[in-house]
Amino acid sequence: MDEEYGSTIWQVIRDAGEDRAIVIETAVHRYQAAVAEFARAAGHPEAEAAGLAGTVLERVFDTGRNPAASPHGTLRSVVYHEARAALAPRPTPSEGEFARAWLAALTGSSLLRLAERNPAEHSALRAFLGIDRPPAESSQALAAEDADRRAVVARARDRVARLLRDEIRATVSSEEEFRDEVRTLARLLDPAVRDP
């Protein structure tokens, strides 16, 4: 494991001491949406999917497994394989489908962090994406936005990209795994993937 990756979720849990249960609960909450979506795609009802997701993640985090010691590699892969085992014998969606749900969860976490750290940039990004208004109104407003507003949106997009890279970095054990994970997840967004 690279020294730079000392703040991975595994290290945070290991070093939590008496706060370990709270740290595990926070980690479960952070990644639960991805696993719940995977369980719903496998045919589990909403309430059952959420409970199953919590159980899978608690098992992964509470055992203290480190992806560096796992044949499955990254946290995403460890959780995917654990979720697949928990869903058996039901047919499960592909690892690619799980990766999409995982990326959505990490992106959501990055956006929440942006909202906490810079509410103005978060609001500008929401407006740019048309989240708070109808799509037709959004495109008209975007055309009319001034250069200052576009600059705020550009900064917000850059900040979300950095926060997303931080989220990914917390789930891997080395720079090589980080680059591979970014490449894998970026392919879900754009087939013409650049290096991180």
pLDDT score of 190 more than 60: yes
pLDDT value of position 195:
46
Helix (H) or strand (E) holding 110: helix 95-117
pLDDT at 58: 86
C-alpha 113, offset from chain centre: 12
Kindly give the interhelix angle for 147-169 and 95-117, rounded to the nearest 10 degrees. 120
User: Is 70 exceeded by the pLDDT of residue 28?
Assistant: yes
Residue 146 pLDDT = 66
The pLDDT tens digits of the residues spanning 60-91 come to: 887 655 554 555 568 888 889 889 988 888 88
Comparing 1-10, 16-25, 104-113, which segment has the lowest mean pLDDT?
1-10
Compute how many other C-beta atoms are within 10 angstroms of the C-beta atom of residue 25: 15
Rounded to an integer, the average pLDDT of 165-180 is 87
Position 128 scores a pLDDT of: 78
Position 158 scores a pLDDT of: 92
Confidence check: pLDDT of 196 > 80 = no
pLDDT at 159: 92
Question: Tokens 């703040």 identify what position?
Answer: 7
Higher-pLDDT residue of 17, 118:
118
* Angle formed at CA 80 by CA 34 and CA 86, multiple of 5 degrees: 95
DSSP for 139-187 reads HHHHHH--HHHHHHHHHHHHHHHHHHHHHHHTT-SSHHHHHHHHHHHHH
Q: Is the separation of the CB atoms in 29 and 112 below 8 Å?
A: no
> Does 191 have pLDDT greater than 60?
no
- Torsion over CA: 57, 62, 66, 72 (sign): negative
**Which of these, 86, 112, 81, lies nearest to 99 by C-alpha position?**
81
In the structure, what pLDDT confidence band is assigned to residue 177 with cuts at 50, 70 and 90?
confident
Give mean pLDDT, residues 183-196.
68
Handedness of CA 130, 133, 135, 136 (dihedral sign): negative
Name the pTM for this structure.
0.76
